[in-house]
Structure 1
């Protein structure tokens, strides 16, 4: 099973058998802190399709998705997940229609303005994974302000993967080695990890992707080498605390062996 060290004040989460959309047999189950992922990564997919299914513009789906972000961040902070990484805008997303890109960045600015006091109050440190310099000036300025204001947040780190692509991240790390004149023996898993955007953070234990797609989409390819993967058909705007509980329970039921046999795991 998974292990994590978290503050004793954080309460375990329980499944509510009366409200969960998928009925479960047996008694109500609870997750201990040791069963939760230390680092949870999410690919927030399905905003546009959610809107189209309701005959709404895609921008309406992104707005509903922003509300889901608020709910999931709050729930993760409440139950004690220490690192949450959200795939917010990929480097490939620049290929979308300009009106949609503009709407996305407007929502990002609104989110930062509204949520910054809450992030500070809840002790959540905001970080950006990706090329921050490639973002529009207003959003870049707001992000840097929020990162500075929340830097001391002790309880949780919220990573927004913005203008992010995993292959570009790996190229950036290799270029760093070359600029430093590194020798072949200087390149190790540890030294490479120190040159990634996630330097100093544990790799994701669990990766969730919503809306039915089952691929990584150039997201944390190196970091997710041993992550558990969870795919759900639920579109991101409908992914709430109940859906999160279902994913975490599925994760807690898995045995993470990291190349060992189950007998070796059980012996410890």
Structure 2
């Protein structure tokens, strides 16, 4: 259900983009976004990469508001992968500081809009200040009933699946030691070991900057997701680019393997 009238959500659409074509019943329940292109955006402007990441914060803010207004129930943003530690130390330190400052600056506004904020990934490796900022956001918003914002930070899907597998092994060993009969592992039981165990799988995955890869993102969960790739670099991704993704999604025929 739309939380605002169409004309308030998309007040000045570009020529040829009909916001009123968006149907309430076709808005995806869960949208996952691979936010790519901050570095290239900065390079085009002769800026350092951290300037690109800072510019991308405005696009994140815009996306959260637009998704919430459109009635999206879960929004997952890929902020920092387990592989991103390989980047230059200055960039990683800057990103961690940016995460902390942005979360603390935005949490009151998100709370006022009834958004629930949580992380997925191994936050134990983050600097204490960054962990504290995410923990504060969770504590302040955990009882909110609006859209859930999942921030994937120090997240890697292969590592997540190894974690879920280890959980299944531990459960099986405990059952065997208790004398229980062996049982067949199910998708549901495996899924309970994922960070997203209490969330529906993404209906729509958006990737910016034109890259055609998943980058170790939600590999299990996106088995039947629809994909939307745009050449737009992340800092330039606004609510109208999001509208284009939603309009593309509502034209898809989702068969989930059926004829």
- CA spacing shift, 1:185–1:100, aligned 2, 3 Å: same
Match for residue 38 of structure 2? 47
> How far apart, in 1, do the equivalents of 2:219 and 2:197 lie?
14
Q: TM-score, normalised by structure 2?
A: 0.91
Match for residue 244 of structure 2? 246
- CA spacing shift, 1:19–1:80, aligned 2, 3 Å: closer
State the Cα distance separating 1:186 from its structure 2 match.
Answer: 4.5
Match for residue 264 of structure 1? none
- CA spacing shift, 1:17–1:257, aligned 2, 3 Å: farther
> How far apart, in 1, do the equivalents of 2:6 and 2:224 lie?
25
> How far apart, in 1, do the equivalents of 2:122 and 2:19 lie?
44
Match for residue 223 of structure 1? 221
> How far apart, in 1, do the equivalents of 2:76 and 2:29 lie?
11
Can you list the C-alpha shifts for 1:79-117, whole angstroms capped at 9, x where unaligned? 111100000000000000000011111111111111110
Pairing 1:61–2:52 present: yes
> How far apart, in 1, do the equivalents of 2:61 and 2:96 lie?
16
Give the ranges of 4+ consecutive aligned residues of structure 1 lying more than 6 Å apart after TM superposition. 13-18
Can you list the C-alpha shifts for 1:37-70, whole angstroms capped at 9, x where unaligned? 0000000000000000011111110000011101
Residue 28 of structure 2 aligns to a residue in which SS?
coil
1:20 pairs with 7, 10, 14, which one?
A: 14
Q: TM-score, normalised by structure 1?
A: 0.89
Pairwise CA RMSD of aligned residues? 2.0
Does the Cα contact within 8 Å between 1:208 and 1:247 map onto a contact in 2? yes
Residue 146 of structure 1 aligns to a residue in which SS?
helix
> How far apart, in 1, do the equivalents of 2:223 and 2:20 lie?
29
Where does structure 1 lack aligned partners over 5 or more consecutive residues? 1-5, 262-268
Matched pairs, number? 252
- CA spacing shift, 1:132–1:79, aligned 2, 3 Å: same
Does the Cα contact within 8 Å between 1:125 and 1:156 map onto a contact in 2? yes
Match for residue 165 of structure 2? 174
Equivalent runs, 1:134-145 vs 2, <5 Å: 134-145=125-136
> How far apart, in 2, do the equivalents of 1:15 and 1:161 lie?
26
- CA spacing shift, 1:197–1:213, aligned 2, 3 Å: same
> How far apart, in 1, do the equivalents of 2:50 and 2:221 lie?
31
